[in-house]
Amino acid sequence: MDLWLNSITRRAAVRSFSAFLAASPLLRAQQDPFRPHPRVPGLDELEDAFGFEDVAHAKLPRAAFDYTAYGTESEFTLRRNREAFAWVSLVPRSSTVALSEVKTSLELFGTQLSSPILISPTAAQIAIHPDGEAAMHQGATKAANTPMIVSNVASLPLAKIAEAATGPLWFQLYPKREAEANRSAMEDAINAGCKAIVVTVDQQASVFERALHDRNLGATGGPPRRSTRAAPGNPYRVEEMRIWYHWGLFDQIRKATKAPLIIKGVLTAEDANMAIERGADGIYVSNHGGRALDYSPSTLEVLPEIVDAVRRRVPVLFDSGIRRGEDILKALALGANAVCLGRVPRWGLGAYGAPGVQRVLEILRREFAAAMAATGRPTLASIDRGLVRTDFA
């Protein structure tokens, strides 16, 4: 009798079985453990750059998305680039200006810009959209003729990118050891219509741990990383990449072209001065979006000292970490003449192709103009350090 009274009831049995099913790994296997599954918004519904990142994540294979997302090693610098913008506060004037009074145009190296925004050079765009860099150029052109800096390792030929749209193009060069290879690449770029050459001197010996985690997914989202087991020519078995760069190399490149030369990857006042003394026409403050050397400073932290060293002798460009129009305003307040966007337009491309690039650039231009109006700065010339308060750690 006691055994019958203490036995499990039908209702209790159903409850136990339901709990088992809810906790079953078979059920969990049908769920995405990384992100939830809300409705994917339409292009016209997106109101900030972050929404494009979410849509790109939903659409792209993980390896392709991660190629855009990752930074080097622990990704400390990647995170610091973004966090640094939280250490700069905007201090508006007591009176605002009407948006109709805001003027954002400027001229840079003979290129007329409707706003101080360019597209950074990034590789392997065909991995995130079938039309690759051609679609990026189309979207940038439709977004008020935004200049695009074409990567030296673009996934499409430069001529095909150039013929896809009419907007301004610049060319980014990864220098080679052979002088003729550098001269030929720059000459081809100028012949294709590029108006300036951006010489990248960072991105030297990176290890992308997130890419290593993706190595069993069966597809890569960008150029494959070489294995350190390949026994490079040093006793440390470290991939050398571009550690051999030196100032003599830039002297060689400077002599090979009359086009404006901008040095990309500057993080110190000393290097900025050295570049100008050797004939650089512009300084590009960048740590390759956190993809060069881990535990380096954020670009926003070093921007003021570089601007002070340059003393307006040449324009200063800036990238890494920008996600909002207010971020652009902060960078200009700290002395940059223009900013370059890398991941943001790639999110637009991966999410919606050329229309996505156009839309995300228009959103940032709109946010930037609104921030200028709200802080009482009607022109780019009126933006100065009095606009910000910094608390860099």
DSSP line for 134-175: HHHHHHHHHTTS--EEE-TT-SS-HHHHHHT--S-EEEEE--
- CA 103 to mean position of chain CA atoms: 25
- CA 47 to mean position of chain CA atoms: 19
| Mean pLDDT (whole number) for 136-159 | 97
pLDDT band at 4 (very low <50, low <70, confident <90, very high): very low
Give the C-alpha separation, 384 to 330, whole Å: 9
Give the C-alpha separation, 136 to 129, whole Å: 9
The CA angle 281-283-287, to the nearest 5 degrees, is: 150
Helix (H), strand (E) at residue 55: helix 49-59
Pairing of strands 148-150, 169-173: parallel
* Residue 293 CB contacts under 8 Å (≥ 6 apart), including other chains: 72, 77, 202, 204, 206, 287
Answer yes or no: 129 catalytic: no
Pairing of strands 111-113, 88-90: unpaired
Class of domain 47-390: alpha beta
pLDDT band at 177 (very low <50, low <70, confident <90, very high): confident
Give the C-alpha separation, 392 to 390, whole Å: 6
29 versus 164: the higher-pLDDT residue is 164
Q: Is the CB of residue 195 less than 8 Å from the CB of residue 111?
A: yes
Poorest-pLDDT segment among 34-43, 125-134, 194-203: 34-43
Q: In the structure encoding, which two tokens stand for residue 275, read together?
A: 């570049």
The CB density around residue 90, as the number of other CB atoms within 10 Å, is 14
Beta-carbon-side half-sphere exposure of residue 163 (alpha carbons within 13 Å): 5
Which residues are bridge partners to 171 per DSSP?
Answer: 150, 197
Mean pLDDT of the chain: 88
| Mean pLDDT (whole number) for 201-216 | 68
Give phi and psi for 373, each to the nearest 5. -65, -45
Give phi and psi for 245, each to the nearest 5. -60, 145
Asked if the model's pLDDT at residue 22 lies above 80, the reply is: no
- Identity of residue 38: P
221 versus 21: the higher-pLDDT residue is 221
39 versus 295: the higher-pLDDT residue is 295
